[in-house]
Amino acid sequence: MARINTARVGVFLQTVMIILKNNPNGLAGREVLDEMERQIVLSDEERGFYRTNPRENRARVCTRWWTVNLVKAGWIDKSKTAWNITELGSQQLEAFPDPEAFALESRRLYQQWRRENNVPEPVEAEIDTELQVAAGGLLNIET
């Protein structure tokens, strides 16, 4: 199974942000991911399913994980009912038009949040190995 490279992660994250920017009242996570799939042509690998989660394709599962970076960076808010872009998120979307740079900055800010809050890295043995490989190390995106 191939890893999803940083630039591709950035495409997914920027698409999520643009969808939220175009929906200022927010959308349910499911609706965001539905719209994301309409806007991005998924590879066969991204359309595939993990054996541990046959309900959502790999693109949706990985995007749910990657958006943790956006939350911890303060770029989006997620509640049980809606995902919303923040003012800072709108600014960062403009400041980082390159998908790879966007993904790397969100990752840098996630790492900063993790250090400031004394949150340890997840133990790889505890993470589904299929997801680990596809997501490039869970929240670690491959460069």
Task: Report helix, strand or coil for 136.
Answer: coil
Half-sphere exposure of 56 (CA within 13 A, CB side): 14
Alpha carbons 129 and 8: distance in angstroms, whole number: 20
| CA nearest to 6, candidates 138, 100, 135 | 100
Helix, strand, coil distribution of the chain in percent, nearest 5? 60, 10, 30
Residue-wise pLDDT tens for the chain (143 aa)?
567 899 999 999 999 999 999 999 999 999 999 999 999 999 999 999 988 888 899 999 999 999 999 999 999 999 999 999 999 999 999 999 999 999 999 999 999 999 999 988 766 544 454 444 444 443 444 44
pTM of the model: 0.84
